Structure 1
Amino acid sequence: MKTMTCRDLGGPCDLAHRGETADDVINAQDQHLKAQEKAGDAAHQPARDDMKGRWRHPKKSLGWYRAMQKKFADLPED
């Protein structure tokens, strides 16, 4: 199990997301950003817009995705 924060994934806060894989924490970040958007949190809106763009255009976002996978792989186990 490893931990990445919202900030590690491009967001504005230090909420911790834990998972076995990079995809686990990326999906947790997506859910977090959706919830913050729904709550009207303007600080998270740019990160939410970026995430929506990545889901819509995955080939264009492959660089970000690979960077997050590497960042996750380099983390120590919790």
Structure 2
Amino acid sequence: MKTMTCRDLGGPCDLAHRGESADDVINAQDRHLKEAEKAGDATHQEARDAMKGRWRHPKKSLGWYRDTQRAFAALPES
């Protein structure tokens, strides 16, 4: 298991997401941002909008995805 925070993934807070793969933490971040948006948390709105854009335009966002995968791979197991 490895850990990345909301901030590591482009968000504004230090909530930790744990997973076996980069995809696990990316999906956890997506759920976190959706929940923050539903709760009316304006501090997460910019990150939520960016995440929505990545899901809608995956080819365009491939650089962010690859960077996140590399960052995840470089993390120590926790």
- Aligned pairs for 1:59-74 (under 5 A) are 59-74=59-74
Distance 1:39 1:66 in 2: 30
Give how far 1:55 is off. 0.1
- How many residue pairs were aligned? 78
Residue 26 of structure 1 and its aligned partner are, at CA, apart by 0.1
Q: CA deviation at 1:33?
A: 0.1
Q: Which residue of 2 aligns with 1:49?
A: 49
CA deviations on 1:11-53 (whole Å, 9 max, x unpaired) are 0000000000000000000000000000000000000000000
> Could you say what the CA RMSD is over the residues aligned between the two structures, in angstroms?
0.1
Runs (4+) of structure 1 moved beyond 6 Å? Answer: none
> What letter matches 1:43 in structure 2?
T
Name the TM-score, length of structure 2 as normaliser: 1.00
Unaligned runs of 5+ in 1: none
Percent identical residues: 83
Query: What residue ranges of structure 2 are gaps of 5+ in the alignment?
Result: none
Give the alignment's TM-score, normalised by structure 1. 1.00
